[in-house]
Every structure is written in C-alpha cells, then in structure tokens.
Structure 1
C-alpha cells in the first residue's frame, strides 16, 4: 500500500470491493472507515450501472480487487471501459503487480514478454491456445490457481516441450516462493508438494520459431478459395480455417463464417 492509496480510500464516497471481507481487514489495518459495496464477476452486470450512476452524480468511487491489480483478470476492466466511454475520469493507483513482480525475479529474459493470464479451463480449448502460443519468441506469463496447477503444467510440458520455467507463488506475501527449473522438474515438484497460494508461471519463449512463409501466400485469392485450396491439399476443414486465419491475421470465426457463407 502506498500513502496515496490509503489517502484515496479514506477520501472516496464508496469502495467497490471484490471481496468485502478481505478488504475490510485492509481497511481496519489502516483505520479507514469508508463504506464498501461488493463488486465481482458474478454481480458485475448489475453493479456497473449502479456504480456509473453514482459517478455521474459526482461521487468518487475506489475499486479494489481481492488480490493483484484491478482490471487484470478482474471485472474492473468492464467498469473502466464504461467509465471511459462516458467520459468519466479514471485514476489508476499503481501497486504490486504479480506478472511484473514474477518476471523480474524469474531469471528468465524479462523483455520482450507476452502476458496471457489464465488459460482456458476446457482441455480442448486450452490445447488450442497453447498451439497458438508455441511459436512466440517472447517470455510468456500465465496465472494459475493452486488446484489447477499440476494439470496446467502437464499441458504446458506436452505443448511447449521441456522449456525453462519459474513458478512464482504468493508474491509480496509472507510465504513468497520461487521454484525454477525445466517444466518437467517443476511438474515433479508440484506432484510431490502440497500446493498452496496463487501462482504466476513465467515460461521461456521459443528460441527458434518457425518462419511463416508469408511470401508464398497468394492474397489475391479470396478467403473461401484459400481455405478450399488447403483442403484440396489434404487439410481438414477446421485446420484449414485455422491456418488461413493465422496466415491472414483474421479472426477464426470470421474465416469460418465467410467459408460457410454465414
């Protein structure tokens, strides 16, 4: 906490907190008497219009996440977007950020980096996400909950190979810990250890990404023709759609719709 943050929390009319019970501990510690209202992913649709209305009436509101920076993997991003759309003032209060804190102590090249956050929970979609990331040369940063850590590490090992990685646990807290090594080594640790706390996974990028042969792509043909060309060469329809989307830097759903005439 910064002196500025404490001062802001004391001066605003209302604090929108992801977990009011946890935030109350913080408020008690700094003798802050400001009233709270719950604001989290399960009630954000209802809360955002209410909070915006208060802001438009001239009230100042502070948004506090339960852990980490508000708006990062947090419904605060939707509140900020709506406030910006309506021309309301948004003031960021910098504080500890798990991704950057993990990155600078990971021992892995800190720049360039690519922050991804949480992978999809569905295995099929998670596998696809990993396939789309495997060629990236940047250091990759993921977030993960303790109960999913082992399965995610297995998926990363299967998809990326045995790259160097740093598991960063409970950053800036009493039980802060770094587990560094190859993916197979940290998976062994996760399998044999009791896993507690929230994790940041810092993964080395691809040292030798395959070059995409953009020069060989005939952009004069239409998207459906391009997809059909790959199908004629032996690709499955979905794989052809995915490849065309990647090569042309288009959304896969848009390519799918255009190919099927939707």
Structure 2
C-alpha cells in the first residue's frame, strides 16, 4: 500500500510526560486484580475515582497511598479538563470506576476522548468485567453478541431500544437493576420472543448466583423470589423466523405461557402476543381460531 494516506487528525506522537491509564479493578473479589494494575495504582501521580470512598477500600487493602480525586458523571464536565491540564504538565493519572473497567457502562468516556484530542497517551490496563465473566460460564453461543449496557429506565424508551434489536438473532448482553428486572424481561419476551436466558447475580461476590432457563421460567421464578444485587443478563440467540411468522410456538402455547408466568387472562395475553409479533389483535384472534379449528379436525 505505497500510496496509502492517513488523516492528519491521527498524530504519531503523544504529548510528552503525562499519561492516562484506564485501569480495570475488581468487581467483587478484591483478589481479582492484576499485578500490573496494582503497580500502576502505586506509581501514578493521581487516581481519578468514580467514588473515592469505595476506591480507598481497595487501596487500603493493598497498602497503596496514591492521592485520589473524584471523577464521576456529575462532575466530569469540569473535572476532565482539569485532569487533562495536569497530564499536560507531566502527571500520570490512573482512571478507575467503582468496579470493573471504566467507560464500559461507567464514567470515563469524556476524559479518554479529551485526553486523545490533546495528544496524551492513553494506556489500557485490562481487568475484570462482569459481562465477560458472565459470558464465559453462560453456555450460550458467544461467537457473536451485542452488549447494550443498561437499557433506558423509562419503559417507552426501553421498548424502542429493544425494538431495534428485534432482527438481531445472536446473543444479547445487558446490565439491569434488580427493581426493574421483571418489567424489563416482560418487554424482552414481548419484543424478542421466547429465548434461553442466563441471569448472573453478584458475579465474583460472596452470593454469586447464575439463574438459567427460558424467559418465561425465569420471570415466574423472579416473581416469587425477587432479585437482589447487580445483574448481568444474557439473552440467547433467537430462532430464525418461520415462513408463517412468529418464533415457532403456537399462539395457544404462547397464551398458556403468559397466563402461567404473568397471570394474564386469555384476552390480555393475546393482545400482548399480537404486539410482540407485530400484528393486529384481530389477526392474532383469527390465527388462534384457526389453530383451534385445526386441533378439532379428526386425524
């Protein structure tokens, strides 16, 4: 590629002196930290923390005395330029979140972006991730997957985000809060259809737990046993749609599942299924009557 050209906005040289280290820290078990991460935290001039109190517990455990400063979603607009200025003056700064890897569903993007714009070297120091840990033991296909972080808390926005994934038939991974998990899974079931599911709870912590089953089965379980702690949800691949539409299950089967898992009557269940399949309620009713008449025909 002799004639290849590169954009001028991608410089080959970094700002001398200062560097930004993006450091992965434990997500529960304090022993899940690399020697490189510990050395980086010890030798940095400053550690930018999502919550200085939580990070201080980790630092105390490993007898690290590096100065800390807060960096979170509520102060990043003003704090990011301040930290960049320090790095331009030669300081090395380690960026950490409360748990796991910064930027991945955690604060940090603005600082990383600004540092790169100012030609400051940004160095990844890999560490734990609840998403990766959960995927490793989910036993669901992971050669292709999409990670969505947290879906919007507002139901209409969440359903819109899920609707954009309706045609994605690979594994989907997201985080969810325990008080929203049932409502979220109802939307997942309606929009994406029945799928295999793994819910990883409190990964690497004392009460680590993995729940496995269909969406319907785990919805029924969570209604009786409310979830606690941080949740990583892995939704298995969807089945390729059949020529007649739907996810392969009959309307009667879908109705019975919804009646059992969510306590809906037949009318409400049919309305929910119609919305999930993208058809009118009258069309769903027509298909249901056709199924019933077919079942009555002698073989």
Partner SS state of residue 133, structure 1:
coil
Whole-angstrom distance in 2 between the partners of 1:177 and 1:132? 30
Q: How does 1:62-141 map to 2 (within 5 A)?
A: 62-141=94-173
The structure with more helix, counted as a fraction of residues: 1
Asked whether the 8 Å contact 1:137–1:209 carries over to 2, the reply is no
Whole-angstrom distance in 1 between the partners of 2:197 and 2:137? 12
TM-score (norm. length: structure 2): 0.68
Whole-angstrom distance in 2 between the partners of 1:136 and 1:29? 43
Whole-angstrom distance in 2 between the partners of 1:68 and 1:126? 24
Give the alignment partner of residue 48 of structure 1, picking from 70, 73, 80.
80
Whole-angstrom distance in 2 between the partners of 1:210 and 1:42? 48
TM-score (norm. length: structure 1): 0.77
Asked whether the 8 Å contact 1:114–1:139 carries over to 2, the reply is yes
1:168 match: 200
Whole-angstrom distance in 2 between the partners of 1:90 and 1:210? 48
Whole-angstrom distance in 2 between the partners of 1:125 and 1:193? 27
Residue ranges of structure 1 left out of the alignment (5+ in a row) = 212-262
Asked whether the 8 Å contact 1:15–1:62 carries over to 2, the reply is yes
Is residue 200 of structure 1 aligned with residue 232 of structure 2? yes
Whole-angstrom distance in 2 between the partners of 1:161 and 1:195? 22
Asked whether the 8 Å contact 1:13–1:61 carries over to 2, the reply is yes
Task: Flag the 1:4–1:81 CA change in 2: closer, same or farther, 3 A.
Answer: same
Q: Deviations over 1:35-77 (max 9, x none)?
A: 1111111111111011111111110011110122111012211
Q: Deviations over 1:87-116 (max 9, x none)?
A: 111111111111111112111101111111
Whole-angstrom distance in 2 between the partners of 1:209 and 1:70? 38
Q: Over aligned residue pairs, what C-alpha RMSD do you find?
A: 1.5
Shift of the alpha carbon at 1:195? Answer: 2.0
Partner SS state of residue 172, structure 2:
strand
Partner SS state of residue 223, structure 2:
helix
